[in-house]
Structure 1
Amino acid sequence: MIKLRMLLAGLVCTVLMMTLGGCADRIEPGNLLVITAVGIAKGEKFRYHFYFEGINPSEFTETKRQNISNSFLFDNEADALSGAISAISQEIPLKPEFSHMQLIAIDDELLREGDYDYLDFADRFDQIRNNLTLIAVKDKAMKPIFSTTSPSLTIPSFRILMQLNELHEKVGGNYPTSLLQFINNLTQSGRNPILPVAQITNPSDKAESMDYAKQLDKQTKMDLHAIAVFREDKMVGELKDREARNVIVLQNQAKNTIYNYSCDAQKTISSALQYIAVNKKVMYRQNKPVLKVYMHATGTINSIQCANYFTGKSVEYTKINKELDRTIEKELTATIINMQTKYKSDIFGFGEKLRISDYKKFKEVKDRWNEEFARADVEVEVRVNVQRSGIRGEPFTNRIKNKKY
């Protein structure tokens, strides 16, 4: 009986030790360097030059805050990403932690050469999430990209991600491309990758200081409006402004955007579109591929600069819808044709649609799909339903010209 009690007591003690004891392999937050972003450029002594943005944990703790920078930038050269990480561990007495990394920035020189050896480690390493965002960086501006501060966003990578998301959510601008999407598009047939392009305008050493974030007039700015275009595994060019917006629309990734058309010399009507849905199909007609695009959207009139063009009557909504249909059809068609003639690169995913709808034909042409895409006919059909004109019916420009009293 005594032995049984001793055995039960021992079991209870063991369970308590297992449940209440701390983790044997725990690491205190103060001993971690939380890596939030990695930049990769061509090296001089070694293959690559790596930049690591790390969060300073103490600046996020009220009792330990010293009012210094919220993040640090470390850099070194190595032949592989794993070697650069080891070098950081030897340089500072903190353990690099990659589980919260959100951004990888790649110099466009590497992308134009089709050099991706550094991504193999990112694809394998269990701490790195495959939903983080990839961007291309122009003009060898990797250090300024990770050093430029802004109001309330003193961690540069957070600023880049927030600016990208705002562009995408509000105006249908650049779409944040994930590591998984980029690798899938590189390794599968039917769609070539795209990446957002980051560029620093008017770079200045002053932008690297915390005081710069407090200034009202800032000369150094981050431009994220361009899209990097790839053919196969190499970057071959960029698209900007309207064409970049049209690419996002054609990829069915635009939630909201704005289209304008001319109603008079140098005067426009602007409409904000929502609920944008785009379907794409590929068929062969007399042994020639035909790319078909169907787009539907609802909209609201944003502004009217032409007096007496619109008074709020239902028949005038119909007129605006038809004009928008024609305008958007021309723009989308022109963007596709530009990709066919200038780059011969299907970044829209028409090849994927052919693979789904006619796999036998896709297998026949998949190794030369970019050439098939370049010789295809293009047919675009758009239906926009502008239903509202904001809180006003008749524009005030009408009331200026047609004074009633």
Structure 2
Amino acid sequence: MDAPSISVEEALMNKRLLCALLFVFVALTTSGCEDRLDMEDAVFPLGIGIDLDKDNELLLYDVHPVFSKNVKKKSQEVEVKPTTLRQARAKIDAYSAGSFQARKVQILLISRKVLQQDGWFPMLDVYFRDPRNPLTPRIISYNGPLSDLVFLNPDNEPILPLLLRGMVDTKSSRSETVSTTVQELHWQMYERGITPCISEVTLGSNQDIKLHGTTLLNHKGKYAFSISSEDSVLLAILQKNSKTISMTLVIPSESKQAPFDTNRVSFNASKVKTKIKPSYKQDKFHFDIQIEMPVVLTELLFPFDLQANESQLEEKMAKQAKKRFELLIKQIQKHKVDPLGLGRYARAYEYDHFKKVEDRWGEELAKAEIKVSVKINIEASGPVK
């Protein structure tokens, strides 16, 4: 049987179709090269720092890696004096070999001097308005000139942005600080029932960078006070954000053997339950906070018969934990801030009363009565008797 013949018209049509497909293929494969930018020709800032000089003029720092085989130093630090964060891009470009690309920023470092100003937050407008800027950088505060950190350049550590990002992510997973992104800070600033909190780092005596804990801000974003890593764990529990936590408690009823502090007990907890019950009576808000902590003992420095008196130790631990929670809450009320988000509970359960005071919620919370109860259950104490 003879093969079917192809007419001249069909052959011409097939040829045109093939040419069209070839044209589409070439267009698709080459269009991505139109705005090609080699890494050597780009500046990818991993860290941005915001500070004020001695004359209260804006300072902006940029830390970015250098992609070159011919340089020993793997990062470049730039300090500029812009009037806005958007203007800083052109000024940084003037000191760099490549074009400024903001999409890879990992951290936003802010000095306490900036946080102590009333109008600092609107300076971040470029992050929310320009889609080329990421919303995921971690916000970190530092009590001192940012130049101390930016130009430190330790030889045995990663470049500063990666070091700080790793610190915040690791420590926040253990509830020793918070991991607040630019987007989360924006929400906290405009949410009436909570006040912002961000992580905080400091320099040790040997010029080593260390995580200090958490910086607490008021409703306007202004610096209120700072808490340690130990108190940050308590804060995470009260916020219902705790993951795996580790705590050490002092049991005053147990004797110390100088020079060692042997009246300590340490434990881990991963399933902490926090219940918050709000109410309004006697012209003020009341909050009943109930905390249940199933724990695993990791350290017991004083002799104690756990098999016979386990419940006694649980009561002693709960009593000391309660004191620490109450002390933190008193500090929070003293500074008229609400990092716990109690205002959200007040709005949900006592809406009419909350709406009357939402514009001065910090002051109202300072007058509130907050009760804390702690129940500790020892689930395991290790193989050592």
Give the TM-score, by structure 2 length.
0.88
- State which of 70, 92, 103 in structure 1 corresponds to 2:107: 103
The amino acid of 2:226's aligned partner reads: E
Distance change in 2, residues 1:90/1:305 (3 Å): closer
Larger Rg: 2
Is it true that 1:15 corresponds to 2:11 in the alignment?
no
- Matched position secondary structure for 1:131: coil
Is it true that 1:378 corresponds to 2:365 in the alignment?
no
- 2:319 maps to what in 1? 326
Is it true that 1:305 corresponds to 2:301 in the alignment?
yes
Is it true that 1:289 corresponds to 2:285 in the alignment?
yes
- State which of 246, 251, 275 in structure 2 corresponds to 1:257: 246
- State which of 87, 92, 104 in structure 1 corresponds to 2:91: 87
- Matched position secondary structure for 1:316: helix
What pairs with 1:1-400 in structure 2 (closer than 5 Å)? Answer: 1=9, 4-23=13-32, 24-43=34-53, 47-58=57-68, 65-66=69-70, 68-114=72-118, 115-140=120-145, 142-150=146-154, 153-170=157-174, 172-202=175-205, 219-233=206-220, 234-240=222-228, 242-255=230-243, 256-262=245-251, 263-266=253-256, 267-307=263-303, 309-310=304-305, 312-313=306-307, 315-341=308-334, 343-392=335-384, 394=385
Q: How many pairs align?
A: 365
Counterpart Cα distance in 2 of 1:18 and 1:120: 38
Shift of 1:239: 2.2
Counterpart Cα distance in 2 of 1:180 and 1:50: 20
- Matched position secondary structure for 1:338: helix
- 1:211 maps to what in 2? none
Shift of 1:25: 1.3
Shift of 1:104: 0.3
Shift of 1:147: 3.2
Counterpart Cα distance in 2 of 1:71 and 1:48: 23
Q: CA RMSD in A?
A: 2.2
Counterpart Cα distance in 2 of 1:279 and 1:102: 34
Give the TM-score, by structure 1 length.
0.83
Shift of 1:366: 0.7
Q: Is the 8 A contact 1:56 1:71 kept in 2?
A: yes
Distance change in 2, residues 1:42/1:283 (3 Å): same
Identity of aligned residues (%): 16
Gaps in structure 2 of 5+ consecutive residues: 1-8, 257-262
Counterpart Cα distance in 2 of 1:113 and 1:389: 49
Counterpart Cα distance in 2 of 1:199 and 1:330: 27
Q: Is the 8 A contact 1:301 1:388 kept in 2?
A: yes
Distance change in 2, residues 1:164/1:5 (3 Å): closer
The amino acid of 1:87's aligned partner reads: K
